[in-house]
Structures are given as C-alpha cells and as structure tokens.
Structure 1
Amino acid sequence: MKPQSLPPIILKNEDGGFYLSSSNELDDLYHFILGQAKRFVSAKSAALYLRNGKGNLSKIGLVTDKTNAGHIAKHVFKSKKSILVKKGTQLNAKDAPVSESYIACYLGDEIGDMSLGVLVLEGIKHFQNFSEQDLDLINYFSANLNALFKDTVFSDIEPQFFNSLTTSILLLIDNANIHNNNNRLQYFLEEIIRVAVLINTSVDLEHVLVMVMESAKSVFRTEASSLLLLDEKKEYLVFHTVTGEKREEVSKIKVPVGQGIAGTVAVTKQPMIINDAQNDDRVFRDVDKASNFVTRNILASPLIVGDEVIGVIEAINTIDRNNFSQDDIDTFLSFSSACAVAIQKTRLLDNLNVTNLELKQKLSTLESIFDLGQAVLESHDELGLMSKTLSILTKELSCEDAGMVIIEEKNKNRIQVYARQLGIVRESFFPMFESRLFLSLMESGNPRMAVVTPQLEESFSELEFYTLKKNFLILPISPRGGNLRAALYVSGKHSLHSFNETDLRMLKTLSSPLAKAYENLRLNQEIITKKSIEKEIEITRKIQNNILPNALIQSPLFDLGVKSVAAKEVSGDFYDFHAFGDEQFSFLVADVSGKSLPAAIFMAMSSSIIRTLSRTTDMSPSELLYRANQLIYEDSQSGMFVTLFLVNYQRKTRTLKFASAGHNDQIWIRKDGSFELLKGKGAPLGVVPHTNYHGGEIQLEPGDILVFYTDGAIEEKSPDGEEYGLDRFIDYIIAHRDESSQKIVESVYNDIRSFSKAEEQYDDFTVMILKFAKVESFEMVKSFDAHPNEIPKLRDFISEHLEKKITKPFAFDDILISLDEAATNIVMHSYKDTNLQNPKFECKFELIGDKLKIVLVDEGKPFDRKKVPKPSVEANLKGERKGGFGVYLMETLMDKVSYEYNGKQNITYLEKTIV
C-alpha cells in the first residue's frame, strides 16, 4: 500500500499570498531550526513569525519582549529587509528603548508574492549586541532556508521527500557553520589589520590598548580580557587595561610575580592555557574573591620586548566553547605582540612579521576547508576521496592518523576501513567481530574521546589496535536519508593535549559533506567501473607486456627459467635480468602494491628507474635500492609502493651480492640439496623518502640454485584452508632440481594449482630459477720464454689443467695444434730481428661453463692479420713463399680467432667449445 502523502509545505490563500502549512512534523522542524539559529550566534531566545492562511503573522517559539519582537517582525516582513537592532534603540518615539539586541531576517523573495515570514533572534549571551557578522550568518541561513521551502511549492510531500528536506536543512546547517567559520577567520584578519593600522596611526596609547584588548575579547569570544604591566621594581603585575563587567574591582588588584597564572607567565616567558581554573592550584584566587567572579579558563601570554618581559595579557572564560586550544596560543600571541609594540613603539617590523606568519597559518586552515570542497568535487573514487580528505583531517586536527570505518552494505559480515598511516591511505577489511568499540559507538551514535591506556587496550579488538594510537576521537556518522553506517576517527594528537570539543566540532563539520560525497561516489563508481573495466584491462595488459624482458639470458654459466601469472586480469608482480657482458649479471623480482591501471603505471615507472640505475651505474644492490627508493618516492602517489629483491652476480669471484626492499626471503639451494634463506632489511620502495637497505654476500659453487619468488607462490591455500607454504615450495624444487629451470617453474606452478583446486589464483605468481652449471669455471695464467724449447712446456701447461675437462671429440687435439701454431708464430716471427733481451710471451686461459677462452700476449713486432695472404700450395711448391698455413689452420680448428694490437702488445684470442 502506498504511504499517504503529507500536505504541501507551502500553500496559497484566496488573496494569492503564500504561507507555510502546519503539521506535527513541520512544527518539530521549525523548533529545530530555531534551536540551530540560536546556537549559531549564542542568542538567548528565538521565534519564527510565519504568515498564515489569513495573511497575518503567527509566532512559533518564545521571546521575552513579545511586543517589541512583534513590531520588529512586522517591520521586516513589510520592508522585506533584514535588520540588526542594537540594545537601547527606540523603535518608536512613544516606546521605551529595547532592552535587548535583535536580529530579524526576512523569509521570502524581495520581488514577488513569496513572503513566508521573519526569523527573530532576541538577546545575545555575554555581549551587549549582536554583530554584523552575526547578522550576515543568520541572513545567509534564512535566505537558503527560504530557497529550500520555495522548492516545495504546490507539491504533495511524500514521507521520503520530507526526510530529504530534513537532510537538506542539516546540510544547510553544516554549510552555515562553514560560512560562519569563514566569516570568523575573515573577522580575525580584519581585526589584525585594524589593530596594525591603529598602532601605526594612533598616538593615544591608552586608546590603543583598550581597542586591542576589546578586539582580543571579541576574536576569542571570551567574557573578559586584561593587560597587566610589571611595576618599576618588577615585583608585581598591575592590571592596566581590563574589559568585561568587573573591570573596576579587578583594576585595583596586584598580582605578585611568580604567583598565579599571570605571575608564572611573567617568569617563564611562555604562554599558558588553563582550561580547568577551578581545580588548578596555580590560579590567583584573590581576583575572583575581589570581583565576585568565577574564572573557568584562562589564556595568558607574556608581553616581551627584546628578551625582557614587560607584562602579561589574559583572555578569561570562553563563551561558545568549553576550552581554549593550542591553536589559540598562536593567535593570542598576535595580540600580546601588538600590545608590546604599542607600549614600547619598537621592533615594529619583527612583530608585523610574526603577525604575517600567523595569518598564513590561519589562511592555511581556511584553505583546508576549501580543499575539502575541492576534494569532494574532484575525486572520482573512494580511495582518492579518502586520500585527500583524510589528509585534510590530519592537518586540521594536528594528528598522525585518520580514517573511516564503514559497515559494508553488500557484506554485513565485515567492516571496510580506509586508514591513513605514515602519510599513506590504505583500504583494508576486518571481520565484524574484530571491531567491538567502533560497532558499539555506531550503534549508539555517540562520539568518544579518550587516551589509549593499558586498561583501555585490554578491551581493544583487532580493528582498534590497527587504527587507534596514543589518543583518539571517534565520530559515528549516519546521514539522514542515506544507507551509510560509518564512523570517522582521528588518532595520535601531536600536541601534549588529547582531542577536545573543538576538535569534535571540526570533525562534525567535515563529516557531513564527506559522508554524502562517499555515498555518491560509491554509487557512481559502480556505473563507471562497468563501463571502463574492459578498456582499463586492455591498457594495463599492454603496459605489463612491455615491462617484462622479451627473452631469457643465454649463458654457459647458468640455466635461467621464469614464469609469471597474474591472479586477475593484471598483475602486480614484475621481474628483470640483465647481462653486463660475460662477467656480471643482475636479477630481480618485485611486487607492486595495488592493482589495475595505476599499479601498472607505477610498475612501469619503478621498473624503468631500477633498470636505468642497474645498467648505468656500478652501485651495490644496497646502494642501488637506496637511490631507487628516493626516485620512486618522488613519483609515488596514493600510497603505492613496491617490494623488491635484487642480486648482482660476479662470474670471476662467483660472489652474489643481494639486498631486499621489504620482500620475501629468497632461496639458495646448494648443490648437495641443503638450502639457506637470503635475508635483507629495508622498507618497500616508495614508502619513506630516505631509508637504508642492508643485504649480504654469498659465495656460489657450480651446481647451486637460486630461487626468486613473490608471495603468491607460497600463500595459495587448499580448500581446507591449508597454505601451500615455503617448506613445501622448497621441497618441491629440491626434488626436481635435476630438471631444467624452465621445466621446474612450470611444474611447481602446476603443483600449486593442483594443491589449491581453485579456479582463480589467490595472488599473482612469479618464480625465477637460476641453476648454475655443474662444470667449474676457472682461469690460469703463465709466462713463457720466447724460445722454441718453451713450446712443449706450453702444451704441458694446457694438458695438465684441461685434458680431463675437454670431452668433445678431437677438441683437445685441435686446441693443442692451434696453440702450437700460435706460439711458433710468436717465437719465430714476432720477435725476429728485435733487440729485446729475454723476450717472453704470456698464456692465459679461462673456462666458462663449456667455453674455453685462450689469450696469448707478446711484445714483438706488430701483427696485422689483413696483411697475411691466403695460403697457396702452388707458391710453396715453386719456392716463392714458405709456410703461410698456420693462421688459416688455427681459424679452421678453433671456433673463433681474433687479433689485437694495443700499441705495445700483440694479443691473440682463441675460443673453443669443449663439452
């Protein structure tokens, strides 16, 4: 059955005039509006004078002086102009002056028939009159309230529409609060400017000080303010300028230096906040006794010229808030500086600079309020919105961490958390039973401020341990008309004090637009995601395909195999390897946080930085990670980071240097089947700007195996919840270590998939295996005299070290013949007709896997291979030339022969596959 509609809010009478209807729901709403209007400007009472069906004004609410309030309402309704009436104003010549100040704001259009009524506020607490800022705020509120009511003309109101109207009024109240905050900041700026102009232009010191203290009382909205000066002997502080109702009584009192709050400030030269004056023994009670005054809280600041204290100023008893805050100290220092300048007429420039700095700080707060609105407008997803708004919260509330805890609409068994920690916003999930404190507060709707004590921690569940540090403020939020059940929290206040009511008000101000924006984004994101997901997947796949190496390194030193499989459409893993000639190699595996297109772009950026550094510098792995982290941190956005394990292998020494950036321990399997985990220390890349990385160095042997992997290779689970695990992973590789590297990575992947029995992977899978050749690589060097008798010794040198290692048929004979020819050419030709004493030549060979490299070096006459003619049997038979076959014989028997002359030495290179 369709719910019964409510009557229209705005009706039209027989004369064509508009008026607001009446109902229980509307009456409750009218009283709620009156309460908020009073709260805005600390009014004593308020009433709505609304036009009824007969065209008269009917009053809703209470005022003390019904006659004057009614006259003011009729005047404003007729003139359609909002007014401020000061205390003592005579409305008519026959009437007595009004005993209170009034604000009366017109509800309706200035042009046309839409005249709904007048909002009247009577009397302001603790002040004589309402201010122009108060009028501006209430007028802003009234104009927007009129616009909301106007939108309902002639419409039958469904129950849910009434809820929507209520929600809109709540949003209007929040906006009015923001408008008020902006006005107060603007008012503060105007006051500072006014005081500065006054100091520079006025020669009346008494007038200047009175105006400054009145300004301080107004800016900080306190019941009183005072300025005390040190007497000549510097024994007492004497009240010089006092504002408030008790000025005459207070002005006669002297405060001993070192006693009371003012006396303490004069000694310490430091400002102080006392927010519980009645229970603080430091408060000088003679002032309250003499003035019959109750001091609740005090903000005090010294007057300093140079390094000398000349007095103290105080602000006493906040009006519209419970406590002074740390932010007030900075602002109050502006007034103490202004007073000191006015008294001494010195150091004007320094004080102006201080004032400018304070203005910048307050402007920064104003910018943060503006930034929140911008963040709501510019954010296109929940994480982006949270990254911006939580950053604003931590800045405005001067705390370390902030977050939003949400009961998921689709999954009621878990809680979604956006947490900003260490400057990074991350999304995570917790089971419902692991969030007792947050759930109880969201259920009750009550905020909570507390300091984290050992006793409180005993009641914490996992979510509280994850989010709440030192001290905290939690505010449940549940917008009317919305489905969102959530709570905002801030934690780790930077100042010595915990969170206070001012912080709570700020959090409430920011919570409403944030909650609405989050709900809208969540709905819009579902639509956007469906439309863009296919295009996004296509882009990310292309990016990732371009990131990974195209081909494996082919080397006689080792056998390389690799396999990388994404869990979803795109992967967060990547790997790389590079050969620096035949002497040095680098390998790495990495795991990037996040998924989708941003993660792919971050992966490409990270991989590019690491590749560039590793291929253009000679830094150690630890040094390289340090530099890479600096560069990646500069470009890291939205909390992205990368874990990485990097190794560098030197062939000659068989040493492996390694370092880790928050990555899993990697595996070194020795040729005898034993293994060791390679451990490094260091934060993931992109988390913090400067951090050190510590790795290690190991000595590898032929037949050893290195296994590089990401956590997806070991964290896959069986249907029973059992994890595949590191031990099972290592055992499998050891059992299959005699197979090729590529076959091992393929088979271990299949084994993990069989173990899981799931259609989809739990996480990205990346495994790279490096099997070192079982043939030992080594090198030898020996020097020989350039004499024919030394050639047999050269053959013996080669035979002694290589004969048993050369298994390829005829390879050993080919090598000996080639060496014999090369040595003969050096002895018989290179040193012929030279005057060198004791000529020598050097033979060096190195075995790399199945490749033998031989190098012969002599210092004889330069040898130019291009000048050696092709062999000719006919020329030899005719006696036209002798020999000429040795060079060509060597090039036939060996795989590769080359020559080089460096300006001093002839160098002959010979290469041969021996296995």
Structure 2
Amino acid sequence: MKKSELLIRAAKILNSSLELDTLLRNMLDITTEYVEAEASSIILLDSKNKRLDFYISLGERASKLEKTYLELKKGVAGWVADSGEAVTVDDVSTDDRFYPVVDEASHFKTHSLLCVPLKRTGTVLGVVEALNKKGGGKFTPEDLEVMTALADQMAIALENAHLIAKAKRETLEKVTLFEVGKKLSMYLEMDEILEQIVDLLYRVVRYDAVGIYLINSETQEIENVVTRGMDPEMESKLHLKVGQGVVGWVAKTARSVLIADVASDERYIRLRPQTASEIAVPIKSGEETVGVFNLESDQKNAYDENSRELVEAFASQAAVTIERARLHEEALEKRRLEEELSIARQIQTTFLPKGDPQAKGFDIAGMNIPSSEVGGDFFDFIKIVENQLGVAIADVSGKGIPAALIMAAFRASLKAEILNNYAIRTIFQKVNRLLFESVEREMYVTAVYGVLDTKNRVLTFSNAGHNPPILRRSNGSIEYLSEGGVALGVLESSTYEERPLSLFSGDVLILYTDGVTEAFSPEGEEFGVDRLVEVIDQSYELSARDLLNEMYEKVRDFTSDSAKLDDLTMVALKVLP
C-alpha cells in the first residue's frame, strides 16, 4: 500500500473516535500493523509528575506495561521525549540508552525498536514505540518515514482528544457544581448537609479519604465533623488547634494547600499510612474561615491546580449551606431557649407572693426582677398562725428550667415541713436531706428562713449558706445574720442552728440574693455589700416598698443598665413605731 493511502486510511481510523482510550488503542493497532511490529506502546508525557507513563500497549504480555513509568531521560523513550528526535535501534543490547526495567517488568524481550516523538507545535506530547520487527528483521528507513508521518497525525488526534476531554470535563464540572448547589439547598440540618457534602464532593474530585473539619470559634479547636476513609480510632486521638497540621495550617492562613508527596511535608500528621498526596482548602463565610475540606489520595501527585479550583468552588457553595445550617441551628436553639425561659418564668412567677403581707407593727415588701436567663431566685411570705409570719428567700445554683424545677421542689418541701410545725433547724435538716437525695451534686440551694413573731417582735431565723441579711438598727449600727449552716443539698447530714433576734422600732432588715451585690459596672467593679449598706443608710426612712425601689435603681445605675444582670430578689422588713 502506498504511503499516501496508508495515511488516508490511518486518518480515517484516528478520527473515527476522539475518546482517549479508543484513540490510543487505534494508534497502537495502526503502529503494529503498518510497520509489522510484534508489539507497540504509546507513552504519554505526564508533565505534572515529570515522567513518561506507559498509558497503554499492545503485544505479548503488554498489559503489564500499563502502570510502568519512566523518568524523562530514562531509556530510549526518555531520550526521544527529551530530544524530540526519532530513533531506530537495530540491537538494543548495544545501545546504552536502552532501559531493561520495562522488559523485566513485562517479561517481554525487546531486540529492536523504532521510537518516534508525538509532537504538536513544537511540544512533545508523548512517544510511540514499535518493538521487534516481525520475522526478526530490522526496521527500515521507510518504516521510520511512515511512523514519523503517522506520528504527526497521531499528535493532532491526541491534542484534539485532550481538548475534547478537557471541554467535557469542564462542562461536567460546571453541571455537577450546579447540581451540587441545588441539592445542598434542600437540606437545613447540619448532620444531613455534611453527609451530602462528602458524597457530592466525590463527584467533583476523587479521593480515598476525606474530612470536613469545622472550627470551634470559642475554643479554636478543629472538630472532625464528618470523615470517610479514616481510622476512627486514630481520629479519636487527634485534637488539633488552629495552626496544627495541614488542616490547622489552612484554618489559620485561610489559604489552600496542595501536597504532591505528604512524606516530604512536615505539616502532615500521619493518620493514614497509605496517604500519599493531599489537598486542603478553607471553607469561608465572608472573611471568616469556618472550616476546612481535606482530601487525601493513595497516589502521589493526585491533585493539581484544576483540582484546587474545583474544591474551592465547591467549598464556596458548601460554605453558604453550612452557614445557613448554622443559622438554622441557632434559630432552633434560640427558640428552644425562649420556650424554656418562658416555662421557667411561669414556674418562677407561681412561686412569688401575689402581694405584700399585712403584719401589725411592721412594713414588709418583696421584689423580684428576673434576668433574661431566669435564675432560681425565690422569696415568699407564709402565714403560719396568728401573729406568726414565715419569711423566706432562696437562690438555686444554675439557670433556666433545671433551676426553676429545683426551686419548686425546695418550696414544696419547705412548706410541707412548716405545716408539720417543726423547729426551723429541723425544717432545714429535712429539706437538706430531700434535696441531697434528689438533685445533681453540682446543684444546691442557699436560703434564709425565719419566723416573725409580730406580737413579741422577735424573728427566729436560720441561714443555709445564703448572703447574710443586713440588719440596720435604729441607732445606725449594722448586724449580719449568718447563723445557720451550709447550703442545702451539699452534704447529706448537715445540721443547722437557729437564732432568735429581737427587733425594735426603727430597725430595718434587708434580705437579698447575690444578684444585688454581685452586679458589675461596665469597668468590672462589683456593687458589693458596702454599697448596699450605704444605700440602706441613706434610704432607711422610706417605706419598705420605696426602699426596695431605691436599692434597685442604685444597682441599675451602677451597671449603667448595660450589663447583663442576674436575678435581683430582695425583701425589706421595717419595724414600725
């Protein structure tokens, strides 16, 4: 067949398909047939890894060549790729350029070869090799001329195949990213979203292991929220701070990183022995880095700039979804807290007396200003018998529904024991044991309970670890009522003492919770007991209700009404003339 006819026929075959795999097989068939070779190989230049890959080959045992590669200047093929010149070798055993490793790997014995570069616009794309002329002959100058002409056609077809593959890949990537965006918009729950992200990410860039790591803004720790392909036992041992490891470095710098060989990067923390290369990109919400995508491959140089751009584009879409999920979670948490606070306020409100008590010879008032969080403050006036009034103030450690429920238990048990007509010290002992048996160890109640004998003007009280009530005598002297015992619910067998206190005309007694004295100014200064005593000294002549209002105004002014206040609970008892 004439050379022109061969080339026309070859052109038809080469243009019949520009799918890369099919094209390469057609190129090999043409090479083997046209120069009557025993085997042939297409060796493509991998510029990223700077090597020649035996992409595909035909001939005896040639399938074993598929994963063999050469450095650019190794072997005859390496020399041709480097020089860009064709070469014919009649006896490879006499040519120093011959590299026998490929033969050893394939168990194929090469005697002679014809090697021609695949060049396009001066750039070497690869090499085509014909191995061993059938019948034991030599490759002729005519074979070299035919192969050189065929190589030109092959290079054009190969370049077109690469362009088409690139265009298809880019189209597929855009379509995939668009579909990813649509699919991610369907979810609001964080766990579901992260699982979907891991699945969809694989459609964009292949990986052998992947992790989505979110940054805890409070602790600056990196939390591995969702992973695939990782050893769970190793993950549980990993506690990264921002700046540690590859993921921590990306979280700190907000910059992507490509690692061709993790063994050569000191930042890599070896969780997977088989990991060879890695890509990590930040997940950013506005200017804030909220997390990191980390992809790992078992092959070196698995990722390139195109991979980075794709994962970054994916991360941008995922960031919007993650932020939306976070806002959704925050909204749900806020709603849950609001519902909890509403319930807690309702519980707390039912504890408080409906009005101030009427006691002959005394002016008594109570006040509770709940905080935004709702604590466990409580006060009550309890009618016992004629001329006897119970006065109680208490504070539960903690906030919200748990504190409100414990206060409910305390109030119920306190009233039950009061109705049994026990002594105050016995009442506290029984209430203490009940709380110790029924609440968590970190929860407890501080309280003051006293019985006011309005006829004899005597207050008998006990203080269970509470802020000591302040008694201002009519002569201006100050006493603190601290007798009693430890907070309720702390120790199983706590005992309490009680003290009778005689009251006289002009005396003022203030009971309060720590929200009053522990209120802070914008500068961080505590209101304190001394300021409270000063307010009492300045305002003792006011009615009990007005005195409480004055104390509240002074605390609010001290905090500039800007700091978040704890519950403010106060009781004022004035002895009238």
Q: TM-score range by the shorter chain?
A: 0.3 to 0.5
Question: Structure with the greater relative contact order (CA < 8 A, sep ≥ 6): 1 or 2?
Answer: 2
State the TM-score, normalizing by the size of structure 2.
0.46
